[in-house]
Amino acid sequence: MSLSKLHGGSSSSATACAACKFQRKKCTKNCLLAPYFPQDRYKQFLNAHRLFGISNITKMLKGIQESERDIAMQNLILHANARALDPVGGVYKIMSDLRRRISYYETELNSIRQEVALYRSLAHPQQMPMQSQSQELSFGCYSYGDLLEQGEEYVNADGYETSKVKLEKEVISNPDQFLSQILMPSQVI
């Protein structure tokens, strides 16, 4: 026995769509809103009704071709649910948040690609021509802090070897020897 029969109603009210149930009328076989708002989607119907109104929804459905109705109603329900969640922003806020996330992840991806290109150029500096290395790296790393040590030699981020830095490191590690080279022999303590 159905719930509607227990409450004294007819069996047709148990299968009424959310729109007909809201309007308290019998749902017919050719109801325009029944495919989009079945009985279990009452909340979605209320959101659409608050935003657009039943008469505007039915006018819109009658004004478009049957092949386009499904897409139109999906969009209408999406807008109504988004506006119910965020009355100010609605779908616009969702789209702007997604655009911001896409932009962030594109920036992150470009940064990671540059790092990968850097590490590839450092791992195989002789195999890659210098021109292709400079094209892969869109930034120039010429400061002392960007030099990397590979064994006994230093390599710039662009792949160029630097011997001057090696001398500077030796000077820092042996300050007595450095002083003896700079000072005159009579000044050496």
Summarize pLDDT for 124-141 with one digit per residue, the tens: 766 555 544 444 444 444
Q: State whether 97 and 81 are in the same domain.
A: no
Residue 96 has a pLDDT of 95
Spatial distance between the Cα atoms of 168 and 39, rounded to a whole number of angstroms: 80
Spatial distance between the Cα atoms of 2 and 18, rounded to a whole number of angstroms: 17
Contacts of 175 (CB under 8 A, 6+ apart): none
Record the pTM.
0.52
Q: What is the mean pLDDT of residues 108-113?
A: 96
Please answer whether residues 164 and 147 qualify as being in contact, where contact means their C-beta atoms are separated by less than 8 angstroms.
no
How much of the chain is in helix, strand and coil states, percent to nearest 5?
A: 65, 5, 30
Q: State whether 98 and 81 are in the same domain.
A: no
**pLDDT band per the 50, 70, 90 thresholds, residue 30:** confident
Q: Which of 23, 30, 43 is nearest to 13 (CA)?
A: 23
**Cα atoms in the 13 Å half-sphere on the side-chain side of 128:** 20
Q: Is the residue at 189 inside a domain?
A: no
Q: Which residue has the higher pLDDT, 73 or 138?
A: 73
In the listed set 139, 159, 176, which residue is the last one of a domain according to the structure? 139
Residue 109 has a pLDDT of 96
Determine which of 65-69, 113-117, 184-188 has the lowest per-residue pLDDT on average. 184-188
Q: Which of 66, 93, 91 is nearest to 79 (CA)?
A: 91
When mean pLDDT is compared over 14-18, 21-25, 153-157, the highest value belongs to: 21-25
Q: State whether 26 and 72 are in the same domain.
A: yes
**pLDDT band per the 50, 70, 90 thresholds, residue 148:** low
Q: State whether 94 and 57 are in the same domain.
A: no
Q: What is the mean pLDDT of residues 42-64?
A: 93
Please state the three-class secondary structure of 117-179 as a single string.
HHHHHHHCCCCCCHHHHHHHCCCCCCCHHHCEEECCEEECCCCCEECHHHHHHHHHHCHHHHH
Percent pLDDT > 70 in the chain is 58
In the listed set 85, 102, 118, which residue is the last one of a domain according to the structure? 85
Q: State whether 78 and 109 are in the same domain.
A: no
pLDDT reading at 47 higher than 70: yes
In the listed set 43, 58, 85, which residue is the last one of a domain according to the structure? 85
Mean pLDDT of the chain: 74
Q: Is the residue at 62 inside a domain?
A: yes
Residue 123 has a pLDDT of 84
Spatial distance between the Cα atoms of 7 and 77, rounded to a whole number of angstroms: 31
Q: What is the mean pLDDT of residues 169-185?
A: 51
Q: State whether 81 and 7 are in the same domain.
A: yes
- Per DSSP, 187 falls in state G
Residue 124 has a pLDDT of 79
Its domain, for residue 111, covers 86-139
Q: What is the mean pLDDT of residues 144-159?
A: 51
3-state secondary structure of 102: helix
What is the tens place of the pLDDT at every residue in 32-46? Answer: 999 999 999 999 999
Q: In the chain, how many domains are there?
A: 2
Q: Is the residue at 73 inside a domain?
A: yes
Q: State whether 16 and 58 are in the same domain.
A: yes
Q: State whether 92 and 120 are in the same domain.
A: yes
Q: What is the mean pLDDT of residues 77-102?
A: 94
Please answer whether residues 132 and 139 qualify as being in contact, where contact means their C-beta atoms are separated by less than 8 angstroms.
no
Q: State whether 13 and 39 are in the same domain.
A: yes
